[in-house]
Amino acid sequence: DRSAGRVGGLNPVNGDSDAKNLRVKLVLLGDSGVGKTCIVLRFVRGQFDPTSKVTVGASFLSQTIALQDSTTVKFEIWDTAGQERYAALAPLYYRGAAVAVIAYDITNPDSFHKAQHWVKELQKHGSPDIVLALVGNKADLQEKREVSVQDGIDYAEKNGMFFIETSAKTADNINQLFEEIAKRLPRPSPS
């Protein structure tokens, strides 16, 4: 299941989830340039293509994964497509999100601090049971690393978040990121 499209209005999400097939809205946050679009394109299309970048407005892609217990999770992934520069992005974008992936670039300490800003924002405005994932991207650039693994772990632990380092370039831990999120989703009770 692969689809791409522009988002016009804002749809209620999680609406047609059942115990076996979850459908969740996932929002991506983080400083511009940390690799959010590349992470999504790697996950959804299996490619690293830094040139294909949407320029205006929020866009989304969706991707379904199957878990070992035969449940499926369809992620509807919202990328800010550059709008993270505008403070006014917030509540409309977060609304109905079951998951927020907050990314930074391990070579850029400033992006790590920006990530912490987004975590606070989500803790304030996100839904109370939102799954928060902290992602240190560009892990392939070890020689340029300026944010330690331990700093990521410590911050995530303090804030009850899942933490992982990824590389959209080499595909390291990209699928694992989404699988681990899927495992942490609250399950609707079977009816």
DSSP-based helix, strand, coil % in the chain, nearest 5? 30, 25, 40
DSSP state of 19: S
CA gap 104, 134 in Å, rounded: 8
Q: Can residue 45 be called a binding residue for ligand GDP (CB under 6 A)?
A: no
Say whether residue 37 binds ligand GDP (CB under 6 A): yes
Residue 133 or 185 with smaller CB distance to ligand GDP: 133
Structural contact between residues 13 and 73, judged by C-beta atoms closer than 8 angstroms: no
Q: Interface with ligand GDP includes 145 (CB under 6 A)? A: no
Give Cβ neighbours of residue 127 (< 8 Å, ≥ 6 apart).
Answer: 94, 96, 97, 98
59 near ligand GDP (CB under 6 A) = no
Which amino acid belongs to residue 60? Answer: F
Among the candidate windows 13-21, 60-68, 163-171, 183-191, which touches ligand GDP by CB under 6 A? Answer: 163-171
Among 29, 34, 102, 182, binds ligand GDP (CB under 6 A): 34
- With contacts defined by CB under 6 A, how many residues of the chain interact with ligand GDP? 17
Residue 35 in contact with ligand GDP, rule: CB under 6 A: yes
Query: Which CB, 51 or 68, lies closer to ligand GDP?
Result: 51
- Out of 123, 140, 179, 180, the only residue in the binding site for ligand GDP (CB under 6 A) is 140
Facing residues of 27 across strands?
78, 100
38 is an interface residue for ligand GDP by CB under 6 A: yes
Listed residue (31, 30, 48) closest to 39, CA to CA: 48
What is the spatial distance between Cα 123 and Cα 166, in angstroms, rounded to a whole number?
Answer: 23
**Chain contacts with ligand GDP (rule: CB under 6 A):** 30, 32-38, 50, 53, 137-138, 140-141, 167-169
